[in-house]
Structure 1
Amino acid sequence: MGRIICCGLGPGDPDLMSVRADREVRAARHVAYFRKRGRPGVARRIVDGMLAEDVREYPMEYPVTTEVAFDSPDYVHLLAGFYDAWAERLAQLARTVDVVVLCEGDPYFYGSFMHLHSRLQGRVEIEVIAGIPGMAGCWNAVGLPIALGDDVLTVLMGTLPEDEFARRVRNSDALVIMKTGRNLMKIRRGLAAAGRLGQAWLIERGTMPGERIARLEDVENTECPYFAIVLVHGQGRRTDSVE
């Protein structure tokens, strides 16, 4: 019997992969990874130059496009069928070989692999290797502590309804806002309504090629790349030196 080994690759810079993930990737003979149709995929780019010459690759191409609303029944149906099919294929492969599945960030933190993980329970041995979450790479790129002392850190999705988003912003100290993309203007309005826009940073492609870091209030874009995070740093209890 083989195994399915999901490797968390970290935020994007190959140097931020764990030693364990690096070892598994280099030794792999069967590698699967998610990607959009017609693109190489971020996870595959991270390990470029690390794979063995005789590796067999299994690109798992998402079936949906931007023309299908993410909250529509069609979207849910398409993705469910996609994950069902790949769970079956990976389970069949893992009967005889180890399969390494690549995952950006940490697999257990909003990782796409979790949709396969739930479908594979009891069918095959699964090992998950932790990775540095993308948000950690982003706040290190800014170079400021995201939270101090008693700060409450909240992770929000830009897809939340605008009223709920603004309410949660007002009730938090430090903020990580994911799924920005086409929700960037809504995020700006919510932060402005809570008086936090001036404290917000936009990090695009954190630790990856093309990384961009800017104050959100200075950004004129109406949307941003998929791999983008908005941060609002907490101002909690500090222990600065006293004369």
Structure 2
Amino acid sequence: MGKIICCGLGPGDPDLMSVRAAREVRGARHIAFFRKKGHPGQARRIVEGMLAEGAIEYPMEYPVTTEVPSDSADYVRLLDGFYDEWAERLVMLASDNDVVVLCEGDPYFYGSFMHLHIRLQGRAEIEVIAGIPGMAGCWNSVGRPIALGDDVVTVLTGTLSEDELVRRMRNSDALVIMKTGRNLDKVRRALASAGRLADAWLIERGTMPGERVVRLSDVDDTDCPYFAIVLVYGEARRMKAAE
């Protein structure tokens, strides 16, 4: 009987993958990964050139991404069915072979694999290999410590309401804002209302080809790629408070 091994691939640069994850990827005979229909998928791009000859690939194509509102009943129904189906398929595959599932960043930190992980409990042996979270790759791209001393770091998602974003932005030192994408304009307004916009950085495709690192106040875009994070550094806030 095989097992299902979820490999955290890190923030995007293949060189930032752990030795253990790379070893599992190179030795995999069955390998599954998420992707948008018609696209190669970011996880698959990271491991390009690493797969063994003859490895069988299983693209897990989302039935919907942004075509349907994420808070609609149709979106929930379609995604639930998708995860149910792939949990069943992975269990069947793992009855005879190890199956490696690719996951960007760290699987336990907003990883899509967790929707399968819940459904696989008690049905197959599961191993999860940690990866460097995308936000760590992004703050390294800026080249500044995200927090020092007693700084409190708060991780937010751009999908929160604007009022909730403002409230939480005001009550923390360092900020990591994920799931920006189409929420970038709302995130910018919230940062301005909270008095934090001047300290904010936008990192698009951190550690990947086409990386862009820029102060958010210098960007006029109202949208950004899926792989984008906004950072506010704690040190800058403390230094201003001391002036």
The answer for the alignment partner of 2:176 in structure 1 is 176
CA contact (8 A) 1:150 1:237 kept: no
RMSD of Structure 2 on Structure 1 (CA): 1.0
The DSSP-based 3-state class of the residue aligned with 1:51 is: coil
The one-letter amino acid of 1:79's match is: L
Q: Which residue of 2 aligns with 1:218?
A: 218
Q: 1:38 matched to which residue of 2?
A: 38
Distance in 1 of aligned mates of 2:69 and 2:191: 25
Q: Please name the residue that 1:113 is paired with.
A: 113
Q: 1: CA distance between counterparts of 2:167 and 2:238? A: 23
Give per-residue Cα distances to partners, 1:85-105, cap 9 Å, x unaligned.
000000000000000000000
Which letter does structure 1 place at the counterpart of 2:6? Answer: C
Letter in 2 for 1:111: G
- 1:146/1:234 contact within 8 Å kept: yes
Q: Tell me the CA shift for residue 66 of structure 1.
A: 1.9
Between the aligned partners of 1:216 and 1:94, the Cα distance in structure 2 is 45
| Superposition deviation, residue 237 in structure 1 | 7.4
Whether the 8 Å CA contact 1:147–1:153 is kept in 2: the answer is yes
Stretches of structure 1 lacking an aligned partner (at least 5 in a row): 239-243
Matched, 1:104 2:87: no
Contact 1:43 1:102 in 2 (8 A): yes
How far the C-alpha of 1:57 sits from its partner, in A, is 0.1
Q: TM-score, normalised by structure 2?
A: 0.97
Percent of matched pairs sharing the same residue: 79
**What are the superposed Cα offsets for residues 206-233 of structure 1, whole Å, 9 maximum, x if unpaired?**
0000000000000010100000000001
May I ask how many residue pairs the two structures share in their alignment?
238
Whether the aligned pair in 2 keeps the contact of 1:7 and 1:131 (CA below 8 Å) is: yes
More helix by share: 2
How far residue 10 of structure 1 moved from its aligned partner, in angstroms, is 0.2
User: Paired residue for 2:62?
Assistant: 62
User: Separation in 2 of the partners of 1:67 and 1:130?
Assistant: 31
TM-score, normalised with respect to structure 1: 0.97
Name the CA distance, whole Å, in 1 between partners of 2:171 and 2:68.
33
> 1:203 Cα shift?
0.2
Q: How far did residue 65 of structure 1 move?
A: 3.7
Query: Which AA in structure 1 matches 2:139?
Result: W
Q: Which amino acid aligns with 1:69?
A: P
Task: Give the Cα–Cα distance (whole angstroms) in 2 for the partners of residues 16 and 237 of structure 1.
Answer: 31
Q: What secondary structure is seen at the aligned counterpart in 2 of 1:7?
A: strand
Partner of 2:185: 185
Looking at structure 2, the residues matched to 187 and 215 of structure 1 have their Cα atoms a distance apart, in angstroms, of 13
The one-character-per-residue Cα deviations of 1:90-141 (angstroms, maximum 9, x if unpaired) are: 0000000000000000000000000000000000000000000000000000
Quote the offset at 1:53 in angstroms. Answer: 1.2
Q: How does 1:82-231 map to 2 (within 5 A)?
A: 82-231=82-231
Q: Which amino acid aligns with 2:173?
A: D
4+ aligned runs moved over 3 Å, structure 1? none
Report Cα offsets for 1:20-75 as digits up to 9, x if no partner.
00000000000000000000000000000000110000000000142200111110
Partner of 1:48: 48
For residue 195 of structure 2, what is the amino acid of its counterpart?
G
**Matched letter for residue 115 of structure 2:** H
Structure 2 unaligned segments of length 5 or more: list them.
none
What amino acid is the match of 2:109?
A: F
The answer to whether the 8 A contact 1:8-1:130 is kept is: yes
1-structure distance, mates of 2:72, 2:144: 39
- Partner SS state of residue 34, structure 2: strand
Structure 2 counterpart of 1:241 = none
CA–CA distance in structure 1, aligned partners of residues 87 and 206 of structure 2: 30
